[in-house]
């Protein structure tokens, strides 16, 4: 069996490794379009703050990992797909055959249609090359404007702030991390940043970027004011990498449409990760989640189906995120924005930057948002994904949502009274 | 060194929290907790001060072994001048907050002055803040606990608080931590409330490190745990029955104070005993006892977690009491049971819940109620004064109703909150108050256990069993059996126990370990953790130093050797039944010898030689 | 034969010796806040529940890690955090549906149970055998796994 995987991000690498485990004989080729060994974009901010060296971003740390797993790495950029012929063609003109194909081409930063976006000095933070570029330019005292306070914007915010640069954040929505945090949480994160000397403009659009005077760039805001900048980091969202597949006959919406086996409408073609529009556990709809755990799940399930001898059905991934914004840790899970006809429990302590919001449908947890929670935070996922009926613990959580770990344990662990144990001779 | 080296000084008057270095010279001489905090208190306050004035101070102190893996190493004490006795107060508590204070990086917290308005201390590692407590002033400990956890969004906060009893001036109000553990005696909660301090909420994540010799410490503590596991009392009796293992035992030896100590045996003891707590009740087939429970680091786990029968008259219509909470310990079972002649286990458990919920000492409350019942029987207290309650011995309803009133400081509960001494004086019969230095007796009748008479008479905090628990030898045979009806040798035993206990307390360990441990088991644990000479001999001398320091405080506060006595009833009225039938307590045979062994004058004043020898 | 931690909540007294042993073994201090095993108290039910990683076969944390900082120990079956490699992104803390991977502010990395390399300190410290280290096919363990399985999403 000849497996071809396009994309050397987490989904592609995990799929390749899973395939190797399931099929020791198969030929596995992993195509990536960046010169470095497969690395993690999640780790780039930590590279930026020099917490880790460059090889610390690599997905696999063992030397020769891919050789030893007999996974062939190939540098190349896919140009087109010919599903009828079971081939793909690369930029170079080379054509490659496959028995099974996995598309795991990931996503790319979205560049908003703003005049001046093509000026030098405006960079996304998406590749290792970008990261090196930013690290070089974000010098102490440099004026840096961060476009977009979404997940990626916030995750690199610390790196930019710690570089000693004079940082301004511009976000067009009314709060920070609007796709992950509700109004209260998003505004607490904003306040947190303001308290740490980062200027944050929310509900503010960038009208245009032009060449500046004293500083190379000038940002024109819809409020009428302007910002001078030495460096502009663009973090205004990502889009699936689907451009290669125009005209191939593969069904595409926001991303590549897949079924619960991770299979596309084309025979023997699968998709996984940021490029795939997969099943969302909470909504039952198919959507692009573009998050690491989902990519890992997709990669595994796709590989199991590609190998053929197991049939793996995706139950849907939970949309969830965890974020560290200048030391303030936030997370959100599932239907954090709530459910029609559902109920919410909330703890809001702005002075201490603590927040917890639980969203219920009847006595089941459907979504959650937290600020400042680092212990046992995963049970929020566990409770959502297991669909445990919380019974009497629902009302306890309505009173005090912080008891979520207890609620989880009370509903998953055997209840024992030890008075009997005390009297048993074995003790 | 196992000390953190830091003292938190909280000036409530000025709203200021400051870190100060621990006086290590004193630490080497007084070890920690009880001893070290007593040294601080003696240096910092005038012993004649009004205990409820801002000039009194209150210290919450941990020991060097608090927060470590030493078994029972979770304890803290509250040291202050007592409003109940006018003597030094030192109330020791388990639970978890002691270790949490230590984990937050503090050996002790010294509270000074009085806050202008109600506050609570929020302590998270080095961050200490006084925050407004208006929302919880006037609320119970349990409500306060819940409010603070929600306010700070942290289920892991450990909380100590005073309840309504303290706010209302009950003179034996305690400080309750972790919902059902108490620095219970001598009115330390009353002092806390007088400072407008409602609660202390702590979260510590720094840990306890700096053990002098970690490998030796682990070895010594493991050896210690093995001794506890193998001991009959610590390995079996206490885990299974809690301190309530004593109820039937003490009753049989004829030392169960009953009906305000008129009698020495209680016919209903079996119904309120540790064994009874295991019996399934007819209504729902469940026993009173749900589980045993440990304090921080304790491998004995004598604590009781109990429920009340839901059909019981006290809680039939109060679902808030249907859950489990801290159950009866022997002292509470005795005071709320045999001393007032009540044998209704559910009523006792309910009254005990109330003591925890609003923070008042069940020993002092039960004893005061017992005195009130006797006064009522004699016609000296009328129904008009009690608000219609019939204060009859044996009435479960009288118990639970007066407990509710005392918890809130309402009606006759206000009078009961003054304690037995003031109550009996008020009604003209001070002789009916079963107290020493104004503090009520615990559960051992000194007519049946002679050594306990001397224990009570000489205890520095007023009547107290935990200062030299000679019951251990006289009844349980630990470390060796002595005859409870004999006075010979008891003076030496009391002195030895007093000194050893002071050392155990000061280490941050639980005195219950001494049902299996001797100082020879304890010394290696302290020595491995702490710099300094912590041999058995030095621990004994440290204990003696602490005892004499406490004594000096009391003398300076105006107490004299004349206060080292017992109520007339125990010295003149013979026991009516049991092995001690016909006996009184022969205190006069033991006290002079005790003074002599202590190196005190015949008036009970520490001699100059003694003080010099101890470096006081 | 692989061994596993078996937890019997009905035997637990809530003394926290396990938490101290764990933190001492892993951090060199007695510090329950840094323990990989936690005892939860259900006060009004009179119940204590020690809780830690079951080293689940699904290994959610391991698969979610973007930098291969969580690896399988073949000898013990545990999933171990290599703290030098962990960047502190915390994705594993939200990926673990059991909530047993926690972020440590002080080090900027995550911590989880690694069975102390095959000699778990918590089990040795437990005075009531509420925590034991037993053969993985022990019946009591099956019961524990069954409860845990309630929460498995696949």
pLDDT per position as a tens digit, C82-94: 999 999 999 999 9
Global confidence as pTM: 0.93
- Mean pLDDT of all residues in B249-267: 97
| Mean pLDDT in residue range B408-413 | 97
Arithmetic mean of pLDDT, B228-252: 97
Is B153's CB within 8 Å of A406's CB?
no
End-to-end CA distance of chain B: 24
Task: Please indicate if any CB of chain C lies within 8 Å of the CB of B225.
Answer: yes
Q: Read off the pLDDT band of C138 (50, 70, 90).
A: low
* CATH number of the domain within which A347 lies: 3.30.390.30
Nearest to B209 among C16, C29, C127 (CB): C29
A218-222, A235-239, B192-196, B404-408 — which is least confidently predicted?
A: A235-239
**Residue scoring higher pLDDT (B432 or A50):** B432
Give a yes or no: residue A116 inside a domain.
no
In this structure, the answer to whether residues A10 and A71 fall within a common structural domain is yes
Distance from the C57 Cα atom to the nearest Cα atom in chain B, whole angstroms? 30
Please indicate, yes or no, whether residues A55 and A96 belong to a single structural domain of this protein.
Answer: yes
Give the up-direction half-sphere exposure of residue A123: CA atoms within 13 A in the CB hemisphere: 19
Q: Out of C46, C66, C147, whose CB is closest to A59?
A: C66
* d(C-alpha B179, C-alpha A337), whole Å: 36
Indicate the residue of A56, A388, A421 with minimum beta-carbon distance to C85.
A56
Instruction: Enumerate the residues of chain C whose CB falls inside 8 A of the CB of residue A14.
Output: 63
Would you call B204 an interface residue with chain C, using a CB distance cutoff of 8 Å? yes
- Residue B324 forms contact with A (CB below 8 Å): no
CB A117 within 8 A of CB A209: yes
- What pLDDT does A419 receive? 34
Per-residue confidence band for A131, with pLDDT thresholds at 50, 70 and 90: confident
Q: Residue A420 pLDDT more than 80?
A: no
Count how many domains chain C has. Answer: 2
Is A43–C105 a contact, with Cβ atoms under 8 angstroms apart?
no
Q: In this structure, are C91 and C76 located in the same domain? A: yes
- Residue to mutate among C11, C23, C67, with most A CBs inside 10 A, is C67
Q: Would the CB atoms of A58 and C143 count as touching at under 8 Å?
A: no
**The predicted structure's pLDDT at residue C139:** 52
B240 touches chain A (CB under 8 A): yes
Distance from CA of A247 to the nearest CA of C (A): 33
Reported as a pLDDT band with limits 50, 70 and 90, residue A244 is confident
Answer whether residue C154 is part of any domain.
no
Would the CB atoms of A322 and C90 count as touching at under 8 Å?
Answer: yes
Distances (CA, A) of A126 to A147, A156, A294, B35, B53: 14, 10, 19, 62, 66
Tell me if A117 is assigned to some domain.
no
Residue B215 makes CB contacts below 8 A (sequence gap 6+) with none
Confirm or reject contact between A403 and chain B (CB < 8 A): yes
Q: What is the structure's pLDDT at B486?
A: 97
Q: C43: pLDDT confidence band, cut at 50, 70 and 90? A: very high
- C152: in domain: no
Cβ within 8 Å, pair A400-B149: yes
Q: What percent of chain B is predicted at pLDDT more than 70? A: 100
* Per-position DSSP letters for B133-160, written without gaps between them: -TTTTTS-HHHHHHHHHHHTT-TT-EEE
Contact with chain B for residue A311, Cβ under 8 A: no
Subunits that touch chain B (at least 3 Cβ pairs < 8 angstroms)?
A, C
Confidence category of residue A155, pLDDT binned at 50, 70, 90: confident
Q: Tell me if C12 is assigned to some domain.
A: yes
Same-domain check for residues A251 and A211: no
pLDDT given at position A135: 87
Confirm whether A22 is domain-assigned: yes
Q: Does C44 touch chain B (CB under 8 A)?
A: yes
Q: Which whole-number Å values give the CA distances from A367 to A296, A337, B150, in the listed order?
A: 21, 7, 21
Contact B297 C31 (CB under 8 A): no
The residue segments making up the domain with residue C14 are 1-52+117-147
On whether any CB of chain A is under 8 Å from the CB of B615, the answer is no
For residues C10 and C48, state if they share a domain.
yes
pLDDT tops 60 at residue B14: yes
- Residue C152 confidence (pLDDT) above 70: no
State which residue of chain C sits closest to B298, comparing Cα positions. Answer: C15
pLDDT number for residue A418: 34
Mutation target vs B (from A401, A404, A408, A419; most B CBs, 10 A cutoff): A419
pLDDT confidence bin for A415, thresholds 50/70/90 = very low
Residue A427 lies in a domain: no
- B205 close to A (CB below 8 A): no
B65-113 residue pLDDT tens: 999 999 999 999 999 999 999 999 999 999 999 999 999 999 999 999 9
How many residue contacts between A and C have a Cβ separation below 8 Å? 161
CB contact under 8 A, B209 and C20: no
pLDDT at B196 exceeding the cut of 50: yes
Residues C45 and C69 in one domain: no
Q: Are A126 and A230 members of one domain?
A: yes
In this prediction, residues B380-408 reach a mean pLDDT of 97
Total CB pairs under 8 A between chain B and C? 88
Q: Are residues A230 and A270 in the same domain?
A: no
Residue A398 sits at the chain B interface (C-beta within 8 Å):
no
Residue A416 in this model has a pLDDT that exceeds 70? no
Query: Which of these three, A200, A234, A268, is where a domain ends?
Result: A234
pLDDT tens track for A379-398: 999 999 988 899 999 999 99
CB distance C133 to C1 below 8 Å: no
Determine contact, residues C21/C124, Cβ cutoff 8 Å: yes
So what's the pLDDT on residue A422? 36
Residue B488: half-sphere exposure toward Cβ, Cα within 13 Å: 1
CB contact at 8 A, A85 and A253: no
CATH number for the domain harbouring residue A86: 3.50.50.60
Q: Tell whether A132 and A273 lie within a shared domain.
A: no
pLDDT band for position B153 (cuts 50, 70, 90)? confident
Note the pLDDT of residue A424: 33
Can you give the pLDDT at residue A425?
32
What would the mean pLDDT of C143-150 be, rounded to a whole number? 53
| Boundary-marking domain end, from A183, A200, A234 | A234
pLDDT at C148: 53
* Interface check B291 vs C, CB under 8 A: yes
Q: Kindly report the number of other CB atoms within 10 A of residue A24's CB atom.
A: 8
> Which residues of C are less than 8 Å from B239 in CB distance?
13
Query: B155 and A417 in contact by Cβ < 8 A?
Result: no
CATH (domain of C134) = 3.30.70.20
Is residue C9 domain-resident?
yes
For residue B479, cis peptide bond before it (omega within 30 degrees of 0):
yes
Of C14, C16, C28, the CB nearest to B209: C28
- Residue A159: the pLDDT is 84
Measured CA to CA, the distance from residue B343 to residue B334 in angstroms comes to 10
Residue A313 resides in a domain: no
Same domain, A193 and A338: no
Q: Mean per-residue pLDDT for A271-285? A: 96
A346 and A281: one domain? no
B441 — pLDDT class (breaks 50, 70, 90): very high
Give the range among A111-115, B14-18, B270-274, B408-412 with minimum mean pLDDT. A111-115
Same domain, A230 and A244: no
Complete DSSP assignment for A178-206: TTTS-HHHHHHHHHHHHHTT-EEE-S--E
In this complex, is the C-beta atom of B1 within 8 Å of any C-beta atom belonging to chain C?
no
B152 CB neighbours in chain A (<8 A) are: 349, 352
Q: Which residues of B touch C13 (CB under 8 A)?
A: 239, 291-294, 298, 301, 303
Based on the fold, state whether residues C61 and C94 are members of the same structural domain. Answer: yes
The answer to whether position C153 is within a domain reads no
Q: State the pLDDT at residue B256.
A: 97
Does B278 reach chain A within 8 Å, measured CB to CB?
yes
Say yes or no: A216 and A300 in one domain: no
- Maximum Cα–Cα distance across chain C: 43
Whether A427 shows a pLDDT value over 50: the answer reads no
Q: How confident is the model at residue A152 (pLDDT cuts 50, 70, 90)?
A: confident
- The verdict on a CB contact (< 8 Å) between A293 and C103 is no
Our CA-based measurement puts residue B145 at a distance from the nearest CA of chain C, in whole angstroms, of 13
Mean per-residue pLDDT over chain A, rounded: 92
What residues in C contact B69, CB-CB < 8 Å? 17, 20-21, 24, 30, 125
Q: C45 and C10, same structural domain? A: yes
B36-60 pLDDT, tens digit per residue, is 999 999 999 999 999 999 999 999 9
A405 vs B contacts (CB less than 8 Å): 155
Q: Let me know whether A38 and A23 are in one domain.
A: yes
Which residue, B461, B443, B456, is CA-closest to B565? B456
Beta-carbon separation of B155 and A347 below 8 A: no
At residue C147, the pLDDT reads: 53
Residue matched to tokens 């004064």: B385
The pLDDT assigned to C154 comes to: 42
Instruction: Tell me, yes or no, whether C108 and C138 share the same domain.
Output: no
Judging contacts by C-beta atoms under 8 Å, the chain B residues touching residue A423 are 240, 278
Q: Look at residue B591 in the predicted model and tell me its pLDDT.
A: 98
Q: Are A109 and A237 in contact (CB under 8 A)?
A: yes
Residues C20 and C95 in one domain: no
Assess whether pLDDT exceeds 80 at residue B412: yes
Give me the domains of chain B, ranges plus CATH numbers.
Answer: 6-203 (3.60.9.10), 258-433 (1.10.569.10), 440-614 (1.10.599.10)
Q: Is the pLDDT of residue B407 over 90?
A: yes
Check residue A412 and give its pLDDT: 80
Total of domains in chain A: 3
pLDDT digits (tens, 9 = 90+) for A74-86: 999 999 999 999 9
Range of the domain at A90: 2-107+239-307
Does residue B110 contact residue B40 with C-beta atoms inside 8 Å? yes
Question: Quick check: A159 and A133 in contact, CB under 8 A?
Answer: no
C36: in domain: yes
Residue A60, both tokens: 């696999």
- pLDDT value at A423 more than 50: no
- Quick one: how many helices (H) and strands (E) in chain B? 26, 17
Please, where are the H alpha helices in B378-489?
383-386, 396-408, 412-416, 420-426, 450-458, 471-474
Distance between CA atoms of A366 and A381, rounded to whole angstroms? 9
Are residues A226 and A258 located together in one domain of the fold?
no
Q: Which of B207, B299, B305 sits opposite C17 (nearest CB)?
A: B299
Q: Residue B240 has what pLDDT?
A: 96
């Amino acid at each position: 069996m000849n497996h071809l995987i396009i994309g050397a991000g987490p989904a592609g690498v995990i799929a390749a490794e899973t395939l190797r485990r399931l099929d020791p004989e198969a030929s596995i080729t992993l195509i990536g379009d960046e010169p470095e060994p497969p690395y993690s974009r999640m780790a780039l901010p930590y590279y930026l703050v020099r917490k880790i060296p460059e090889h610390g971003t690599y997905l696999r740390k063992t030397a020769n990992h891919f050789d030893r797993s007999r996974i062939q790495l190939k540098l190349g950029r896919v140009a087109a797909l010919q599903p009828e012929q079971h081939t793909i063609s690369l930029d170079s003109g080379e054509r490659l055959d496959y028995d099974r194909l996995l598309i795991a081409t990931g996503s790319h930063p979205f560049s908003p249609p703003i005049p001046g976006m093509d000026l030098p000095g405006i960079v996304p933070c998406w590749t290792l090359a970008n990261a090196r570029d930013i690290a070089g330019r974000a010098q102490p005292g440099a004026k840096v404007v961060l476009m977009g306070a979404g997940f990626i914007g916030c995750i690199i915010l610390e790196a930019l702030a710690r570089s000693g640069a004079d940082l301004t954040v511009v976000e067009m929505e009314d709060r920070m991390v609007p796709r992950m945090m509700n109004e209260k949480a998003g505004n607490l994160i904003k306040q947190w940043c303001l308290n740490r000397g980062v200027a944050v403009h929310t509900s503010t659009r960038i009208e245009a970027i032009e060449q500046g005077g004293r500083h190379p760039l000038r940002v024109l805001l819809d409020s009428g004011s302007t910002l001078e900048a030495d460096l502009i980091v663009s973090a205004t969202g990502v889009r699936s990498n689907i451009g290669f597949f125009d005209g191939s006959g593969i069904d595409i919406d926001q991303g590549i449409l897949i079924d619960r086996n991770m299979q596309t409408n084309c025979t023997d073609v699968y998709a996984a990760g940021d490029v795939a529009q997969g099943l969302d556990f909470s909504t039952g709809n198919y959507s692009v989640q573009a998050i690491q755990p989902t990519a890992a799940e997709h990669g595994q399930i796709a590989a199991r189906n590609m190998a053929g001898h197991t049939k793996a059905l995706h139950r849907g991934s939970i949309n969830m995120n965890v974020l560290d914004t200048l030391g303030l840790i936030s997370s959100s899970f599932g239907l954090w924005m709530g459910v029609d006809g559902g109920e919410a429990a909330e703890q809001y302590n702005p002075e201490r930057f603590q927040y917890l919001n639980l969203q219920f449908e009847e006595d089941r947890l459907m979504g959650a948002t937290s600020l400042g929670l680092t212990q046992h935070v995963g049970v929020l996922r566990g409770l959502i994904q297991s669909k445990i009926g919380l019974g009497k613990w629902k009302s306890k959580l309505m009173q005090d949502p912080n008891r979520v770990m207890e609620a989880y344990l009370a509903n998953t662990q055997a209840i024992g009274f030890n008075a009997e144990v005390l009297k048993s001779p074995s003790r | 060194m196992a000390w953190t080296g830091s003292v938190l000084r909280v000036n409530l008057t000025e709203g200021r929290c400051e870190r100060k270095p621990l006086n290590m010279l004193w630490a080497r001489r007084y070890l920690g907790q009880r001893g070290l905090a007593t040294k601080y208190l003696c240096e910092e306050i005038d012993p004649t001060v009004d205990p409820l004035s801002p000039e009194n101070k209150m210290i919450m102190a941990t020991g060097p072994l608090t927060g470590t893996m030493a078994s029972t190493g979770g304890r803290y004490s509250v040291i202050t001048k007592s409003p109940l006795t006018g003597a030094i107060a030192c109330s020791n508590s388990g639970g978890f907050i002691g270790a949490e204070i230590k984990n937050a990086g503090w050996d002790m917290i010294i509270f000074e002055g009085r806050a202008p308005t109600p506050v609570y201390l929020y302590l998270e590692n080095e961050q200490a803040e006084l925050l407004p407590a208006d929302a919880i002033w006037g609320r119970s400990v349990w409500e306060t606990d819940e409010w603070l956890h929600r306010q700070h969004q942290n289920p892991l906060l450990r909380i100590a608080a005073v309840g309504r009893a303290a706010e209302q001036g009950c003179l034996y109000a305690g400080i309750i931590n972790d919902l059902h553990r108490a620095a219970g005696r001598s009115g330390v909660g009353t002092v806390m409330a007088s400072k407008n301090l409602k609660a202390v909420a702590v979260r510590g994540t720094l840990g306890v490190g700096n053990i002098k010799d970690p490998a030796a410490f682990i070895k010594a503590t493991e050896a210690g745990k093995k001794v506890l596991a193998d001991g009959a009392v610590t390995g079996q009796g206490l885990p299974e029955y809690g301190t309530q293992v004593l109820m039937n035992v003490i009753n049989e030896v004829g030392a169960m104070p009953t009906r305000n100590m008129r009698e020495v045996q209680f016919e209903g003891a079996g119904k309120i005993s540790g064994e009874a707590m295991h019996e399934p009740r007819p209504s729902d087939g469940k026993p009173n006892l749900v589980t045993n429970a440990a304090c921080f680091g304790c491998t004995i786990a004598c604590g009781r977690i109990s429920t009340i029968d839901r059909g019981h008259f006290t809680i039939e219509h109060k679902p808030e009491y249907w859950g489990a909470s801290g159950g009866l310990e022997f002292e509470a079972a005795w005071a709320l049971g045999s001393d007032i002649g009540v044998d209704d286990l559910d009523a006792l458990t309910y009254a005990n819940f109330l003591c925890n919920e609003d923070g008042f000492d069940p020993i002092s409350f039960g004893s005061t109620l017992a005195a009130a019942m006797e006064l009522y029987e004699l016609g000296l207290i009328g129904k008009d004064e009690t608000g219609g309650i019939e204060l009859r011995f044996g009435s479960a309803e009288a118990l639970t109703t007066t407990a509710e009133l005392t918890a809130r400081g309402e009606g006759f509960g206000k009078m009961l909150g003054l304690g037995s001494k003031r109550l009996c004086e008020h009604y003209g019969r001070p002789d009916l108050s079963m107290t020493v230095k104004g503090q009520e007796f615990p559960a051992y009748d000194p007519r049946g256990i002679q050594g306990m008479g001397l224990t009570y008479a000489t205890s520095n905090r007023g009547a107290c069993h935990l200062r030299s628990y000679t019951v251990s030898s006289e009844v349980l045979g630990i470390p060796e059996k002595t005859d409870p009806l004999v006075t010979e040798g008891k003076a030496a035993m009391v002195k030895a126990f007093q000194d050893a206990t002071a050392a155990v307390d000061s280490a941050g360990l639980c005195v219950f370990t001494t049902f299996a441990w001797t100082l020879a088991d304890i010394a290696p644990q302290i020595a491995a953790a702490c710099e300094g000479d912590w041999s058995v001999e030095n621990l004994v001398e440290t204990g003696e130093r602490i005892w004499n320091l406490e004594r000096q405080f009391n003398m300076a506060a105006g107490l004299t050797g004349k206060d080292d006595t017992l109520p007339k009833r125990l010295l003149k009225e013979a026991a009516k039944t049991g092995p001690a039938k016909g006996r009184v307590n022969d205190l006069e045979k033991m006290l002079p010898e005790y003074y002599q062994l202590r190196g005190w004058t015949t008036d009970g004043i520490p001699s100059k030689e003694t003080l010099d020898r101890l470096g006081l | 034969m692989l061994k596993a931690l078996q937890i019997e909540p009905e035997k637990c007294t809530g003394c926290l010796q396990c938490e101290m042993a764990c933190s001492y073994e892993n951090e060199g201090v007695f510090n329950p806040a840094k323990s990989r095993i936690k005892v939860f108290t259900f006060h009004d039910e009179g119940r204590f529940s020690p809780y830690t990683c079951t080293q689940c076969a699904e290994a959610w944390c391991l698969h979610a890690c973007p930098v291969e900082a969580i690896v399988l120990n073949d000898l013990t079956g545990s999933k171990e955090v290599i703290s030098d490699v962990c960047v502190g992104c915390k994705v594993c803390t939200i990926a673990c549906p059991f909530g047993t991977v926690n972020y440590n502010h002080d080090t900027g990395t995550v911590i989880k149970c690694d069975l102390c390399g095959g000699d778990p300190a918590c089990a040795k410290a437990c005075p009531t055998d509420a925590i034991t280290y037993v053969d993985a096919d022990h019946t009591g363990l099956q019961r524990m796994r069954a409860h845990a399985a309630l929460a498995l999403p696949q």
